[in-house]
Amino acid sequence: MTKGRWKITKKNSVIIIIIFILCFSITGCRNRDNVIKPINAEYFTISYGNSGYEAKDKVKQETVDFFVEDYNNIKLNGTTNQEINFDKSITIIFIDNDQISAQLTIDDKGICWIAANNEVNTYILDKKSNIYADLLKVYYEVKGKYKS
């Protein structure tokens, strides 16, 4: 080797690998942490299929807080190209200070569309999540209060 050129040794290889690992550790290579940014909400609107209702003054603040926490801790199993079944989808739009803070659309198969922080993507919801069933229950509760 000539003077001034890099000589690849075991020591240099280890240093390069350590730098590579540190870069990925700092920037993060996990998908979930880069997707869901925590939100706040004063109330939400909820829809199922083609009908929707504003839940403001129709549910307790604890219910709003529950869904905000559920959203902030949502577990995803990656992105997908699968289409959402909009006939069986539930959409919840979180409102904070009269502005949309996030939107989640999820179908009965766990395909979900998340819109927050000017980003929109389609994901597969973790199979252990109960958010669809919880949202469906609250949808019917809110819908019933409009019919009364």
Q: For a pLDDT cut of 70, what percent of the chain falls above it?
A: 73
CB atoms within 10 A of CB 30: 8
Q: Say which DSSP state 83 is in.
A: P
C-alpha 113/C-alpha 137 separation (Å) is 20
CB 145 within 8 A of CB 70: no
The order of strands in the sheet holding 90-96 is 51-54, 43-48, 90-96, 99-106, 111-116, 119-125, 76-79
Token pair of 48, please? Answer: 């199922």
DSSP assigned state of 61: H
Cα(69)–Cα(81) distance, rounded to whole angstroms? 27
pLDDT digits (tens, 9 = 90+) for 56-97: 999 999 999 999 999 999 998 888 889 999 999 999 999 999
Which residues, 6+ apart, have CB-to-CB distance to 18 below 8 Å?
Answer: none
Q: What is the pLDDT of residues 107-122, one digit of tens each?
A: 999 999 988 666 777 8
Q: In this predicted structure, what is the pLDDT of residue 61? A: 94
Q: In the prediction, which pLDDT does 59 show?
A: 93
What tokens were used for 3? 């003077």
Tell me the pTM: 0.74
Q: Are 76 and 123 in contact (CB under 8 A)?
A: yes
The pLDDT value recorded for residue 27 is 45
Q: What is the pLDDT of residues 15-32, one digit of tens each?
A: 666 665 655 545 444 444
